[in-house]
Amino acid sequence: MTGRGVIQWPSGASYDGDVCGGFIDGTGTFKGVDGSLYKGSWRMNKKHGMGTMVYANSDTYEGFWNEGLPEGFGKYTWANGSTYIGSWKSGKMNGRGVMKWTNGDTLDCNWLNGLAHGKGFCKYASGACYIGTWDRGLKDGHGMFYQPGSKIPCNLEVSECVTDHDVSSASSSGNENVNSGLLFLLQKLCNTWRIRNLFHRPRRISNGTAPVFDDNSGNHLSEDSSTEPLTTGGCLQDSGVDKVLVYEREYVQGVLISEKPKGHDSGMPDSGKTQEHTWQKQAGGPMETIYKGHRSYYLMLNLQLGIRYTVGKITPVPLREVRSNDFGPRARIRMYFPCEGSQYTPPHCSVNFFWKDYCPMVFRNLREMFHIDAADYMMSICGDDSLKELSSPGKSGSIFYLSQDERFVIKTLRKTELKILLKMLPKYYNHVRAYDNTLITKFFGVHRITLKGGRKVRFVVMGNMFCTELRIHRKYDLKGSTQGRSTKKQNINENTTLKDLDLSYVFHVDKPWRDALFRQISLDCMFLESQSIIDYSMLLGIHFRAPYHLKTSSSHQNSPETGISDTDLLQYGEKSSWKGFLLVAHEPGTTVGGSHIRGSMVRASEAGYEEVDLVLPGTGRFRVQLGVNMPARALKVCEDMNTELKNPDSIEEYDVVLYLGIIDILQEYNVSKRVEHAVKSLKFDPLSISAVDPSSYSKRFVKFLESVFPEQD
């Protein structure tokens, strides 16, 4: 059958439209047995292209299809009047989109598998607004709540290209379908280009891991959409002064755990311009994707070209044990990359540059040691996606880049740091090979780019300790010193890495885990002390679980992805230090792996298993190792290290998942550090400053961590 015609089946279904080679192919209308109606494009018996579907329950979808499922840009309208306009993938809301409920509430954010997941904002029918982050359909992390009547950032608008006009203009029938589809897509792309060109940077809120709402109901928002503040006491200021209208909120898995008013006297921006800047900064997060025209664009292209070349060159070489001549600054690969290409390099659209790869065989073995596939490594850093640059460089002046999948961190190095790394590399290699549970930073490559004019930029590629599906609610950089180890209150936001004096919690972990943890910390500190290294710190990431008695019903739903039956679950007893967690016997291949997890698993005494997995209902199943996915109980013992709790009788306790590792290991105790110690000792307590001799530093570091992870009675 070829041409245009009508097909009727005995079941009652019918099709009126184009047919080609015996297949429904072209444009046409299909009426289902259940009363559903599809009008649009087809390919090989499947809905493909622009089309409109009216379901049996009166729901409607207008937009793009791919292989029989909504995919691309489209509008879904529920029978009750709720709508979603935005991106779809494999039949689910995925990407940027706007959900509007019949009661007037609107949620504009990123979506993942049908749930709100990432940065976004919600406008309520009452006029209130919440700007924050969602995780698997639930509010999670810090955000700003604006009561009705407050000044909302002026550039809060629904997602670019997401309008009813876009979709309605795309919906057509017959021979106009293809033309309308092209017009619809062109309009969408033009709108995006116009906005990006105007601001010279991507305007979308950055994608993050976040959950989604069920796409078959519009009622889930109201579970936690109260437009009233958590507390009303103290919200009114002195007579004659307006009521506080803006609040800083913090959520954990949909549970509101803290709220405080943010008035004009506490640094609340007044002007619309400042408000707009605040929203832009919050929306973009701590990172921005490097785009063409960005100051780091050509540097990123050079780095990707160089890594692709050297990894591709070293990978075919048979794996062997490293030799002494594989170490040192002379063990390198050098290459010139002209724009027009050469006998050994491809042509490229960046600037001419010289490339140097240090100790390629050593780092190739390290990547193998940490089970990193060469193809995955290149795709992560050198794929089609751009790198992301951290907006706030470190205190040392180094700039940090992140791969799009967030598995790897790339940091610029000073020349002295490069020399220290190459000098300690033989001992570092032996240490990480001997202790596979080491907490020390994992290095995967060291490179140098020389640009026109002789400017040299040195990079090191490291593993990202916070590459996890779980949201990291708090980050701490802990050295064990006290001088200058606090963060100004006005500078703290959800992306801030806090310091020693800001820490207000102690953490109780299972005794075997604590013993193994400090055994490894001692070994790592002994290694760093032998290399005369100081100024290193413990980077601690904390994922808070919502208090069990406050969890919403959606927080308790078990995820079918975990593959755990009720009989397999082992829940800790009432006397356990983390009774809210579920541990099950480890099964290889069933856990959510980290980016480069390596090492033996530690025994959990409460579970009675040699190896255990952590099960978080609705999230996944995670392999527990030292420093990775470690369950613990956090007790808030003070407001910070210098302030006692206002009400010591009510101690806050939380179930937490910890991520930790030792970072910044490239600072020697050299002459300048000795001078710094001598000068600061005249003004401050010599034991409170960071610059002390390696032996004292190591002992103080371990002692401080023992106070953070105290032994249980």
> For residue range 457-489, what is the model confidence (pLDDT) as tens digits?
999 999 998 888 888 888 999 998 888 888 887
- 28 beta partners: 17, 40
Residue 167 pLDDT > 60: no
> For residue range 562-613, what is the model confidence (pLDDT) as tens digits?
444 444 444 333 333 345 677 777 766 655 555 555 666 665 555 455 677 7
Res 598: pLDDT: 60
pLDDT band at 225 (very low <50, low <70, confident <90, very high): very low
Residue showing tokens 């608008």: 157
Contacts of 290 (CB under 8 A, 6+ apart): 296, 297, 300, 386, 387, 388, 389, 401
Q: At residue 325, what are phi and psi to the nearest 5 degrees?
A: -80, 0
Mean pLDDT for 156-182 is 43
Res 438: pLDDT: 92
pTM tops 0.75, yes or no: no
Secondary structure element (H or E) that encloses residue 614, with its range: strand 612-616
Mean of all residue pLDDT scores within the chain? 76
Contacts of 421 (CB under 8 A, 6+ apart): 413, 443, 446, 460, 666
Residue 31 pLDDT > 60: yes
Distance CA(545)–CA(675), nearest Å, equals 45
> For residue range 238-284, what is the model confidence (pLDDT) as tens digits?
333 345 678 888 888 778 877 888 754 333 333 333 333 333 333 33
Res 604: pLDDT: 59
DSSP strand pairing (497-499 vs 474-478):
parallel
pLDDT band at 673 (very low <50, low <70, confident <90, very high): confident
Answer whether 223's CB lies under 8 Å from 101's CB.
Answer: no
Mean pLDDT for 149-153 is 74
Residue showing tokens 């000044």: 151
Res 280: pLDDT: 37
User: In 644-692, which ranges are continuous DSSP H helix?
Assistant: 671-681
Mean pLDDT for 683-700 is 88
Of 389, 179, 155, nearest to 275 by C-alpha is 155
With a pLDDT cut of 70, the percent of the chain lying above it is 72
Residue 425 pLDDT > 60: yes
Answer whether 695's CB lies under 8 Å from 533's CB.
Answer: no
Of 472, 295, 463, 284, nearest to 381 by C-alpha is 463
Res 590: pLDDT: 55
> For residue range 344-364, what is the model confidence (pLDDT) as tens digits?
898 998 999 999 999 999 999
The token duo for 498 is: 């806090």
The token duo for 304 is: 């990707």
**Of 23-32, 222-231, 293-302, the least confident:** 222-231
Distance CA(206)–CA(228), nearest Å, equals 28
Residue 289 pLDDT > 50: yes
Mean pLDDT for 648-665 is 83
| Cα angle: 585, vertex 591, 596; to 5 degrees | 120
AA identity, residue 152: I
Res 145: pLDDT: 87
| C-alpha to C-alpha distances, 641 to 485, 491, 503, nearest whole angstrom | 10, 18, 6
Mean pLDDT for 621-643 is 79
pLDDT band at 398 (very low <50, low <70, confident <90, very high): confident
DSSP E strand stretches across 36-105: 37-43, 46-54, 60-66, 69-77, 83-89, 92-100
Of 136, 156, 135, nearest to 144 by C-alpha is 156
Res 396: pLDDT: 67
pLDDT band at 199 (very low <50, low <70, confident <90, very high): very low
